[in-house]
Amino acid sequence: MATDKKPSRAEVESAIKTLIRWTGDDPSRDGLKDTPGRVARAYQEFFKGYNDDPEAILKKTFEEIEGYDEMIVLRGIRFESHCEHHMAPIVGRAWVAYIPKGRVVGISKLARVVDAFAKRLQIQEKMTAQIANTVDAVLRPDGVGVVIKAEHHCMTTRGVHKHGTDMVTSRMLGVFRDNAMTRQEFLAMVTDDLERGS
């Protein structure tokens, strides 16, 4: 992460005004005069993941699980991110699975981990690995599986303009990597969701 001093709000709004001028428009006209402030606030929301600690999100776990040791899958977690190459939106869904070893985490925490990484400048491959690696490092389960399917606006709304194209990435750890039946059980759930358009 950058170690430079964080720019002030005034500096950010000034930069946005410069971008507006660069497009050929006038940032002082009525329709645009409040835009720099709105864009700055939007960017605070888009990139709020830099303020989150994904490992801390997963720290509170529950051990009273009556020996439950089967797969847990949170399916179709919608997220919005931005690619680090063009700052264009990445919109998609994530499937996060793990096989617990004595403790589980609240399901909302898995969704929050996805958001913590999505709300940063990203590439999908790295985000997929970050989610899986964090769940694995904190929960120490028997295995973790993560699949992400997303549309990248850097290639659908600019560049090659390939509308309707999406990318799928996966990261399998532990038994999801080593046991073909476990991996297939998880991927069958993902495939079923994708075929139904989830």
Using a cut of 0.85, tell me whether the model's pTM lies above it: yes
Active site residue 163: no
**Active-site residue (options: 11, 85, 125, 184):** 85
Domain ranges of the chain: 9-46, 57-195
Helix (H) or strand (E) holding 174: strand 167-174
Q: In terms of CATH architecture, what is 57-195?
A: 2-Layer Sandwich (3.30)
What is the per-residue pLDDT across 14-49, written as a single tens digit (0 to 9) for each? Answer: 999 999 999 999 999 999 999 999 999 999 999 999
Catalytic residue, chosen from 84, 151, 153, 185, is 84
For the chain, the straight-line distance linking the first and the last C-alpha, in angstroms and rounded, comes to 34
pLDDT tens across 78-137, in order?
999 999 999 999 999 999 999 999 999 999 999 999 999 999 999 999 999 999 999 999
Architecture (CATH level 2) of domain 9-46: Orthogonal Bundle (1.10)
Listing DSSP states for 66-133 in one string gives TT--S-EEEEEEEEEEEETTT--EEEEEEEEEEE-SS-EE-HHHHHHHHHHHHSSEE-HHHHHHHHHH
Q: How many residues does the chain have?
A: 198
Active-site residue, from 13, 122, 130, 152: 152
Task: Judge whether 195 counts as a catalytic residue.
Answer: no
